[in-house]
Amino acid sequence: MDKDRIKGSAQEAKGKVKEVAGKITGDAKLESEGKADKTGGKVRNAFGGLKDTLRGK
């Protein structure tokens, strides 16, 4: 498993927590930061998956 996939998954989880916390507290900025982190994590995870595929893992 590529390190980008691991970091991407962690970033996605962090984003989800921030998004939920923003919804609960009514903090639109925190919620949008969470969505951005989550999206960035998905992209990084996908990139890591592509690297794994190219390596044949």
Give the model confidence (pLDDT) of 2-56 as tens digits: 899 999 999 999 999 999 999 999 999 999 999 999 999 999 999 999 998 998 8
Encode 5-19: b = buried (16+ Cβ within 10 Å), e = exposed. beebbebbebbeebb
pLDDT of residue 57: 65
- Write out the H or E segment, with its range, that includes residue 1: none
Identify residue 3 by its one-letter amino acid code: K
Which sequence spans correspond to the domains of the chain?
3-55
pTM: 0.84
